[in-house]
Structure 1
Amino acid sequence: MECLFHGDMQLSDKALNAYIHCIRGEEHLLHREGGKVFLENTFISSLLKRDGDPKVFLPMNIEDFHWYLAVLNAKKSELKGLERQIKLAAKHKELYQGKWSNLDVASWPVIEKITTQMQTDGVSCGLWMINYMEYWTGSSLSDNVTQDDITMFRFKLPAILWDSRLNTKKGHQNLDHNMDEDGESSSDVQIIDTPLTSTNTQELMFVLCTYIMGIDNDKYLKKHWIQSTKPYPISLSLQKLKDILDVNKPMDTDCFNMVVRMIACNDVLFLLEDKFHYMDLQFCSITKFGRDPRLRAKPDINMLAKLLECWPDMEYDVSDCKQILLPFSFMGHFTLYVLNMDTRSIYIMDSMPIPSWFKGDHPSMHYIHNIHYIANNMNAAMELANPTWKDDIYMWRRLVPTWVPRILNWDLSGFLVINFMHDWNGIRLPCICTNGNDLRTKFLVELLKYKDNESKDNIPEEIQEIIRHIR
């Protein structure tokens, strides 16, 4: 099952066979246009020793590199290939002659039914193949499947296999749909009742994601699952939580600010000798960075100074903090600026590589406009929050560390910056995961585990039980 939990891995034949075994158990999928079909698994050494089915669906593999589906139609003496490179040997015996009138399979015509490229990555061919097997009617696909659908299907597949009535390892839990207050099912995915039999963190996380991705009730998606009113109100709807798992969407501002709040109010940090002050995206919001300067009003310095106050239930003064962690966002691209008060240094942590067209003498010059903007506003705010402040941040040394992980996915920058803030020890970052699915899933789980969540009662008990078991 491990291959199902990593978005950059191809599916193993065991995982493919498990799903094929599940769809074999659905009677309606064994009857397609032209009659009954047989859904072969990947072990096809005796693939043509079947005498009762005029059609055979064959999973094919090219040198452990690529999966595709071939459909043999004995009634029409026709071999339908859903991809190129189909070559079959013609040594077939013991086939029922009434339905297999022509045993010379090598002479059957090859008809390509799908000629346009549908797969856009390098690892999901197995998922495409089993979807073809499920949705091929005999002449066309019964459903319009996209790469996004396939990516989400990877999330669902572990839960489908685990939840299958054919799964003998599951036990005998009673399954039921989660119902909302109007008696409507909020999801087409079933969740096991407590107590849970699994304690595998990855398995539980994927069951959780499967449940959330399966919810399509508009009214239910508007419910607030997470809420906090200190130091200012933030509410996260189920739709926003669902969007976290959407690989085509960047970090949401409210979700980001909520997690910063969770980091900043962590009791463990209060015990540390070197205090850090964590800021959220309120700085960008108040200063209105990115707007035309001619249309941008002068920021309220009192509001900026308020951002330098200690977080609720945390007792410290910004003048006592060794470092200030300031996240910056523009058009969905997130960067972290760490202001080190002791060394008068600015660490610039950007997960996106500096573009090749940049010709500056020092990498920090790529960020000079942002630094100038941050320095002007932070200097004014610091003078108000700390009367002893007499420095100019713009004149500080600027560092662009080479050990910051780099990726090319703009939409993941917010998830990485949150990890930078959480894992920063004042000197450098540890090794940080850059896998998109893992980053998004971990972020969602951390939000749902928020101990001071004021809307916890809106989260179904089944989900709360799963969260309690995730370590």
Structure 2
Amino acid sequence: MESLYVGLCHNKPKKSAATAIVLKDYICTQGDLALIDFIKEIPCEPRVEVVLIDAAFVERKSMECLFQPNAYIGDEVFIPINIRETHWYLAVIHAINMEIQVLDSLGTSQDRKDLTDSIKGLQRQIDMISQRKELKDHRWPDLQVASWPLREIDMGYAKQTDSSSCGLFLLNYIEYWTGDELSDSFTQDDMSHFRKKMAAILLSSDLNKRRGCLLYKNDKEVDSVSPSDVEILENSIDSKKRKLLHVLHDSEVVYEDEEGPITQADLQKWFVDDWDKRAPVKVSNDGCTNDFLMVGLSTKDMPVTKADSIDVLCDYIMAIEDDTTLEMTWVRSFNPFKIEISVKDLQNILTINQDMILRCFDMAVRLLANKESRRPKGEIINNRKHYMDMRFWRMVGFGKLPKYHQDSTAEELAKTLDCWPSMNYYITGCRYVLLLWKFNGCHALFVIDHVKKHVTFIDFTPTQDWCKHMPYKRFAEAIIMASKKYKIAYSKKRSGWAEDIFKSEHTIQTGVPIDLRGFNTSYLVLQAMSMWGIDRRMKFVGDAKIVRRNFVIDLLGYEDNSCRYAIPANIQQRLIDIAKKD
């Protein structure tokens, strides 16, 4: 295999070079094609890591978009501005001209809300840094970036003519933009070649630690019920990187960087005592303070909103790098079975390109049931619904070979229909049973209506080619398996019950959002479960970032959390402040 990598390189000139691009710079060589053919033979499942450059990795499945001529290029783009996870364009902060340049392969636009929001965030960071130390050595004529005008750049021939090459154009904009113009020209035809060429560049890079030694990964999600099942492959933490630690005394080190150690007392001086000389703030010394969490967020002209507070708290969680802290359990629930959520799990929830792991999803359903118990009694009685977590799906063993699956007993199946601890009902008094399912890593929902003897399928993934002529085929095997086990479970609760939900009337729910990449199906299913049975049209929140961050706040604020004591006091206080903004 190593011989495939020899002699492969990307010869496109850098933007500082005067050499013009020629067609061959975008076209794969015979060596490139041989390497790509080798990688294409590797199946997407199980997970195989084929590129590792520093801390960034690419798996075989993610590289599939480079092998398909019209696939959308997504998460590997550097310094992007993204519009609703569907389009990439480049923003260039031009300090000399004091302007924000916009390079968009689809042309100019009057609406740049995504960009203006990002610039506001950048301004906050600049303001925060300038409060810590005086920025004397910068060469920018003005640090008020948010006041700089936006200038739309006409990209001429360097524009896309399809609906999927924006990411490829963005990469070339980054490489060839000089600040005034593109040092070389390229067109849609070049991108058609460059799409596959980029796969060869990543695979053959000297920086790729997986070059010649691919890493095959186990599917952790299905079997990750216990934290002990997680295997740590390598420690990527650099000792020179700043680490967030729990501290108790002023003399203890909070950060350590090239300039030396920074103590809790230093933080208090920079972020608290020197923050507003007109109104000094008194803070406690037991860890990072609330004021440290909120530094740079509130200004006279920009009051702190609930969304701002949530953003700052979630950014704080994402900044934690200390291994000990990441392994700490911050959320724990015992009833009806034990679930533990670690700081690392919270970071995974906040990572946009990862769907929810099973224990977090089970915990989310538990939160829904707890919220259901607070609804007006009249609403609950009229359309009472039972929330099922993923235990039933795991017991059915859908997608597993028989030799790897042990059938559950009738008693175990029946437990999935037990009343939730925070409520008081019996399953036979429920009109709806919300049964969760999973297809190829994506979540779906089956709504069983016992009054109308009807089953509604709610799926948030695109209809696949093999079942477009008959969409119900996608659910056939699942509903057959589910109906057999459901009959066993329900008959334990209602003696003599022998109905078959497979023979019920079936409907596929229309008008639901489609998650093209499958990263947010769990969050969409949870929204559907919450809204089902309410006499109005379901309205989904499409912003994945907002949904994920709100879920983290719900987890940390869970009233029956037996591990609340482990959450740092400053974060607990921030959660209280967020709750007051409702």
In the alignment, structure 1 residue 296 sits paired with structure 2 residue 405: yes
CA contact (8 A) 1:175 1:190 kept: no
Q: Which moved more, 1:163-172 or 1:224-233?
A: 163-172
- One-letter identity of the residue aligned with 1:213: M
From 555, 558, 580, give the equivalent of 1:450. 558
Please report how far the alpha carbon of residue 173 of structure 1 lies from its aligned counterpart in structure 2 after TM superposition.
3.7
Please report how far the alpha carbon of residue 232 of structure 1 lies from its aligned counterpart in structure 2 after TM superposition.
1.0
CA change 1:40–1:279 in 2 (3 A) is: same
CA change 1:454–1:371 in 2 (3 A) is: same
- One-letter identity of the residue aligned with 1:412: N
Matches within 5 A, 1:124-143: none
Please report how far the alpha carbon of residue 62 of structure 1 lies from its aligned counterpart in structure 2 after TM superposition.
3.5
Measure, in 2, the Cα distance between the counterparts of 1:44 and 1:346.
52
CA contact (8 A) 2:457 2:506 kept: yes
- One-letter identity of the residue aligned with 1:191: L
Which consecutive residues of structure 1, in runs of 5 or more, have no partner in the other structure? 46-58, 67-80, 89-108, 112-116, 118-162, 180-184
CA contact (8 A) 2:431 2:450 kept: yes
CA contact (8 A) 2:273 2:281 kept: no
Matches within 5 A, 1:425-440: 425=533, 429-440=537-548
Name the structure 2 match of 1:154. none
Please report how far the alpha carbon of residue 29 of structure 1 lies from its aligned counterpart in structure 2 after TM superposition.
6.3
Measure, in 1, the Cα distance between the counterparts of 2:434 and 2:575.
29
From 360, 373, 387, give the equivalent of 1:255. 360
What are the superposed Cα offsets for residues 137-173 of structure 1, whole Å, 9 maximum, x if unpaired?
Answer: xxxxxxxxxxxxxxxxxxxxxxxxxx79998799654
In the alignment, structure 1 residue 379 sits paired with structure 2 residue 481: no
| Runs (4+) off by over 6 Å | 24-29, 42-45, 163-171, 175-178
Name the structure 1 match of 2:457. 348
Name the structure 2 match of 1:10. 115
Measure, in 2, the Cα distance between the counterparts of 1:307 and 1:458.
30
From 515, 521, 535, give the equivalent of 1:407. 515
Please report how far the alpha carbon of residue 397 of structure 1 lies from its aligned counterpart in structure 2 after TM superposition.
1.1
Please report how far the alpha carbon of residue 259 of structure 1 lies from its aligned counterpart in structure 2 after TM superposition.
1.8
CA contact (8 A) 1:221 1:238 kept: yes
Measure, in 2, the Cα distance between the counterparts of 1:270 and 1:450.
20
Measure, in 1, the Cα distance between the counterparts of 2:494 and 2:178.
71
CA contact (8 A) 2:327 2:344 kept: yes
CA change 1:38–1:221 in 2 (3 A) is: same
Measure, in 1, the Cα distance between the counterparts of 2:509 and 2:285.
49
Please report how far the alpha carbon of residue 263 of structure 1 lies from its aligned counterpart in structure 2 after TM superposition.
1.6
CA change 1:205–1:355 in 2 (3 A) is: same
Q: Percent identity?
A: 25
TM normalised by structure 1 equals 0.66
Which consecutive residues of structure 2, in runs of 5 or more, have no partner in the other structure? 1-80, 86-112, 156-173, 185-190, 192-270
Measure, in 2, the Cα distance between the counterparts of 1:227 and 1:297.
28
CA contact (8 A) 1:226 1:236 kept: yes
Please report how far the alpha carbon of residue 376 of structure 1 lies from its aligned counterpart in structure 2 after TM superposition.
1.2
Name the structure 1 match of 2:139. 37
From 152, 157, 171, give the equivalent of 1:63. 152
- One-letter identity of the residue aligned with 2:139: V
Q: SS of the residue aligned with 1:466?
A: helix
Please report how far the alpha carbon of residue 313 of structure 1 lies from its aligned counterpart in structure 2 after TM superposition.
4.2
What are the superposed Cα offsets for residues 164-202 of structure 1, whole Å, 9 maximum, x if unpaired?
Answer: 9998799654578974xxxxx8x9x93259xx9966110
CA contact (8 A) 2:442 2:521 kept: yes
- One-letter identity of the residue aligned with 2:516: L
Name the structure 2 match of 1:190. 292
Please report how far the alpha carbon of residue 422 of structure 1 lies from its aligned counterpart in structure 2 after TM superposition.
1.6
CA contact (8 A) 2:294 2:312 kept: no
In the alignment, structure 1 residue 207 sits paired with structure 2 residue 296: no
CA change 1:17–1:39 in 2 (3 A) is: farther
CA change 1:429–1:351 in 2 (3 A) is: farther
From 87, 94, 98, give the equivalent of 2:180. 87
Measure, in 2, the Cα distance between the counterparts of 1:371 and 1:444.
32
In the alignment, structure 1 residue 418 sits paired with structure 2 residue 520: no
From 413, 416, 419, give the equivalent of 1:310. 419
Measure, in 2, the Cα distance between the counterparts of 1:280 and 1:360.
31
CA change 1:60–1:357 in 2 (3 A) is: farther
Please report how far the alpha carbon of residue 394 of structure 1 lies from its aligned counterpart in structure 2 after TM superposition.
0.4
Measure, in 2, the Cα distance between the counterparts of 1:437 and 1:214.
16
CA change 1:427–1:366 in 2 (3 A) is: farther
CA contact (8 A) 1:17 1:42 kept: yes
Measure, in 1, the Cα distance between the counterparts of 2:127 and 2:422.
55
Please report how far the alpha carbon of residue 421 of structure 1 lies from its aligned counterpart in structure 2 after TM superposition.
1.2
CA change 1:318–1:270 in 2 (3 A) is: farther
Measure, in 2, the Cα distance between the counterparts of 1:247 and 1:168.
36
Q: SS of the residue aligned with 1:215?
A: coil
CA contact (8 A) 2:352 2:544 kept: yes
CA change 1:345–1:426 in 2 (3 A) is: farther
TM normalised by structure 2 equals 0.54
From 323, 339, 343, give the equivalent of 1:238. 343
Q: SS of the residue aligned with 1:398?
A: strand
Please report how far the alpha carbon of residue 22 of structure 1 lies from its aligned counterpart in structure 2 after TM superposition.
5.5
In the alignment, structure 1 residue 286 sits paired with structure 2 residue 395: yes
CA contact (8 A) 1:24 1:30 kept: no
Q: SS of the residue aligned with 1:411?
A: coil
- One-letter identity of the residue aligned with 2:513: P
Please report how far the alpha carbon of residue 219 of structure 1 lies from its aligned counterpart in structure 2 after TM superposition.
0.8
Q: SS of the residue aligned with 1:416?
A: helix
